[in-house]
Amino acid sequence: MNLWSKSDLTERFYSGKTRALHGTHVSTGDRLWSTFPNMRPMATITADTLDWYGFDEFGGSVHDVIGTRCDPYTHHLLQHDDYHYCCHSNLTRALAKHCDLSLDEAERHVHDVLNVFMCTGFTRDTGQYFMKASPVRPGDYLEFYAEIDLIMGLSACPGGDCSQEHSSDAAACYPLLVEVFDPGEEARAAHRISAPSGYDRSHGTK
Ligand SMILES: [Zn+2]
Ligand SMILES: [Zn+2]
């Protein structure tokens, strides 16, 4: 999943900073932070039906901010061929279409993701990133409260439950439903848009 500020695509979800502030995997109550210089909550997670999973015996959990996204460049590096339906390319095509941008321009705005539903961790012995079959089942969901006006991009990974291979059409994939709800007039009236960082941005020159 990618997030952009609707008014400025250069303000986007900052996976690394969200990880530093909340941990390797996010859940209810955690916030999804935006890039510098604004660095503010873009969205808050308000419900997660996979909360029960916690961390398993291997250190795996769901909804990570440690993976980057499957992409054709890494695939090309490792497999020496071209695959065009990685999450990176899916997000690029979707953003280009939604914002009427060239592929080249849209691709620059695609960024490290929140891996919704994916079950991942680091191996205890060697510290390497691993993926295993996701416990997600039909009906499970992750709910966000939009703190600012957002554009969201979501790719159903060609890796399916991501337990086997990525970057091919081999895995079984299932549709993802995205619904946008209105919290109601009262909540909208009471909402305070998260303020950009108060740092003065002089970086030691004053
Ligand atoms: Zn993917
Ligand atoms: Zn995947």
Assess if residue 137 is contained within a domain.
Answer: yes
pLDDT at 17: 98
pLDDT given for residue 161 in this prediction: 83
Distance (Å) from CA 42 to ligand 2 centroid: 24
**Residue 86 Cα, ligand 1 centroid: separation in angstroms?**
5
What is the structure's pLDDT at 115?
97
C-alpha 7 – ligand 1 centre gap (Å): 27
Give the per-residue pLDDT at 166.
73
Ligand 1 centroid vs 12 CA: distance in angstroms?
A: 19
110 is a domain residue: yes
- Nearest ligand to the C-alpha atom of residue 131: 2
Give all strands (DSSP E) within 123-190, no chain letters.
129-132, 142-146, 150-153
Q: Residue 203 falls within a domain, yes or no?
A: no
* Residue-level pLDDT at 160: 87
Give me the interface pTM, i.e. the ipTM. 0.81
Phi and psi, residue 106, nearest 5°: -60, -40
Please state the domain count of the chain.
Answer: 1
Is 198 among the domain residues?
Answer: no
pLDDT at res. 58 = 94
Instruction: Give pLDDT < 70 ranges for the chain.
Output: none
**Separation of 32 CA from ligand 1 center, angstroms?**
20
Domain that holds residue 185: 2-190
Angle at 98 between CA 96 and CA 104, to 5 degrees: 10
Residue closest to 183 by CA, chosen among 133, 129, 138, 147: 147
